[in-house]
Chains A and B, each alone.
Chain A
């Protein structure tokens, strides 16, 4: 990623944001380790990390989408719908494979609908995903009729609870994907095109980039990732309900933006997103461990988001002038 040369930017050190977020992360970890005994122990970190992976997987797709200047508010609802699809198919057929496929396929379809609306009808992503945010959740509620499905067997829950070489399975999965996404974003032409689209969509179009096709696949992929995240979530709780993933979209966007991806598009990378995710995750875990309060947690996260972006804006403006 060091080889990236942005024509428009003249900053000499381009990892500034990542450094700040990394430093913040270290501070949070140090404070947490000091105030909460045993917080930094590998075991407790591994235990806590269970709550991270679904977010992390969603954040990968969201990073790419936000880099192109778009947004996907429907990921949480897609998760709910996929979970219900999983439960419904499992109840009907009793097959875990069929249910998992249904779960992923539902996510894929949800994403494809978003993608088609955004790329073919040229609707603003915010509007499209705001509409499908309501629609997918509604379909999930209507389909499941408030019913929750559960007991899918231990083998299945081990998918989310088990570990490989000491790393939880979803975590291994996430890291493999994260590397794939990072390479795609930094080293492949299509990945670079995402930045181009985010910088100036019109110019990208005129220079021959298939903007619509890329957009379509981006949102489809985001839907598929939501299906995947839903699968992990279902496995972790051994339950499938329509309200799964509620509010996830906001947390995921928070993590991505905190990681230095510009909400206007054109700037961002996977490393930043991972740091953003970790910062939010550790802050959360620390706050809820230390004060034992979930409310405080959301206050801290909300303020963190605003303050981080504000600080970045203030400093980068000074650097520019």
Chain B
């Protein structure tokens, strides 16, 4: 990787060498996450071998898919030093719009109209967010906070307290069974991950995003267009949110106005746990994806170790503790490098 990811460690005395080495290994967040995922699977697998079965993991991956798709976009947003906390509400709005258009009980339009329209709407809202952030100079957390509230209200208003069901048979079939036995959401997720990876590693655009995130000033001096880059990342996130909606929502029995609530928090959490610096300029896709798997795993794992009715209610607490643990461990191990790190977090 061309980014200066390798840490330079000042200490060289024998006493600290071992721990530094360990720290360096753990510092690759991916290693830690992978260890955690493997360890959990093995432990749960020993208790109940069914956990390691194909069906269970297929189910986990299906649950991962929408989060992974959207996380690809939000990760790029965070890399440029901005944040997007509106994806959950956007998903709900898009689901409502899509449902209204293609449900057999509603407008009953063809999927060939409904799906592209949903994609366009998602991208459009993303671009609007981006232009407010870049042209209007409104901090992204404010814009997306406002949208989080406003879009959710708009969705509830649109649904009018009723649920939308009876999506076209073809779409639900595709979502449930998929192509050649692979659920469509997983296929889409793989496609999006590939696309994002190419974008980051093989196209100048990706490098520019990192440049913008590490120092907006230098990026500007190097002649990069901040406006264009930000329009792109937000537009991309909007597009991916629409995509995630299209492949995931038909899986559900009906569309409710509560769809995607707290989804934004899950996505941001995955991005952060995956090692993307919240101040921008740093982070790898693979870390984010592992974090998505880890966070999604928690619920199935809890079902498998059978914590009972009372334990069920503790799921969120355990999830929260997990995030806290991930963040704290990371800071603990990366503290040694803090000295050399830039401290001018914008």
A-side residues, CB < 8 A to B, are 71, 117, 121-124, 126-128, 130-139, 141-142, 145-146, 202, 250, 253-254, 257, 263-264, 293-299, 301-306, 309-310, 313-314, 317
Q: Which 10 A-B pairs have the closest CB atoms?
A: A135-B320, A302-B150, A138-B317, A138-B316, A298-B153, A134-B320, A142-B314, A302-B149, A306-B146, A299-B153
Residues of A within 8 A of B150 (CB): 298-299, 301-303, 306
Contact in complex: B317, A141 (CB < 8 Å)? yes
Chain A interface SS verdict (over half): helix
**Assuming the A-B contacts A202-B343, A306-B143, are A128 and B132 also in contact, with contact meaning beta carbons closer than 8 angstroms in the complex?**
no
Binds A, one of B54-62, B166-174, B324-332: B324-332
Closest chain B residue, CB of each to CB of A297: B153
Contact in complex: B153, A135 (CB < 8 Å)? no
Contact in complex: A139, B317 (CB < 8 Å)? yes
Task: With both chains docked as a complex, state the minimum distance between the C-beta of A88 and any C-beta of chain B, in angstroms.
Answer: 14
Q: Produce 1/0 per residue, B302-317, CB < 8 A to A.
A: 0000000010011111
- The reply on B200 being an interface residue by CB < 8 A is no
Contact in complex: A135, B321 (CB < 8 Å)? yes
Residue from B138, B157, B265, B268 within 8 A of A313 (CB atoms) = B138
Contact in complex: B142, A309 (CB < 8 Å)? yes
Total cross-chain contacts (CB, 8 A): 142
List CB contacts (< 8 Å) of B59-100 with chain A.
83
- The reply on B244 being an interface residue by CB < 8 A is no
Contact in complex: A130, B139 (CB < 8 Å)? no
- The reply on B145 being an interface residue by CB < 8 A is yes
Contact in complex: A132, B324 (CB < 8 Å)? yes
- Number of chain B residues close to chain A: CB under 8 A: 49
A302 to B83, CA, bound (A): 17
Task: With both chains docked as a complex, state the minimum distance between the C-beta of A247 and any C-beta of chain B, in angstroms.
Answer: 9
Given contacts A135-B323, A305-B146, A309-B139, 8 further A-B contacts (CB under 8 A): A130-B323, A131-B324, A137-B320, A141-B313, A293-B157, A302-B145, A302-B149, A313-B136
Contact in complex: A141, B157 (CB < 8 Å)? no
Most buried by A among B145, B272, B319: B145
Closest chain B residue, CB of each to CB of A257: B142
- The reply on B290 being an interface residue by CB < 8 A is no
B-side residues, CB < 8 A to A, are 83, 132, 136-139, 141-143, 145-154, 156-157, 265, 268-269, 272, 278-279, 310, 313-321, 323-324, 327-328, 331-332, 335, 338, 343-346
Residues of B within 8 A of A314 (CB): 136
Residues of A within 8 A of B268 (CB): 130
A305 to B220, CA, bound (A): 29
Contact in complex: A145, B313 (CB < 8 Å)? yes
Most buried by B among A126, A293, A317: A126
**Assuming the A-B contacts A138-B315, A301-B149, A302-B151, are A127 and B272 also in contact, with contact meaning beta carbons closer than 8 angstroms in the complex?**
yes
Contact in complex: A141, B316 (CB < 8 Å)? yes
**Assuming the A-B contacts A121-B332, A135-B324, A302-B151, are A126 and B278 also in contact, with contact meaning beta carbons closer than 8 angstroms in the complex?**
yes
Residues of B within 8 A of A142 (CB): 313-314, 316-317
Contact in complex: B153, A306 (CB < 8 Å)? no
Contact in complex: B141, A263 (CB < 8 Å)? yes
A121 to B335, CA, bound (A): 8
Residues of A within 8 A of B278 (CB): 124, 126-127
Residues of B within 8 A of A141 (CB): 313-314, 316-317
Task: With both chains docked as a complex, state the minimum distance between the C-beta of A83 and any C-beta of chain B, in angstroms.
Answer: 16
Residue from B132, B314, B317, B335 within 8 A of A310 (CB atoms) = B132
Closest chain A residue, CB of each to CB of B129: A306
Residue from B143, B152, B156, B323 within 8 A of A131 (CB atoms) = B323
Contact in complex: A313, B320 (CB < 8 Å)? no
Residues of A within 8 A of B142 (CB): 257, 263, 305-306, 309
Contact in complex: A138, B139 (CB < 8 Å)? no
A126 to B327, CA, bound (A): 12
Task: With both chains docked as a complex, state the minimum distance between the C-beta of B257 and any C-beta of chain A, in angstroms.
Answer: 9
Contact in complex: A124, B279 (CB < 8 Å)? yes
A130 to B271, CA, bound (A): 12
Contact in complex: B320, A302 (CB < 8 Å)? no
A60 to B269, CA, bound (A): 27
Contact in complex: B137, A295 (CB < 8 Å)? no
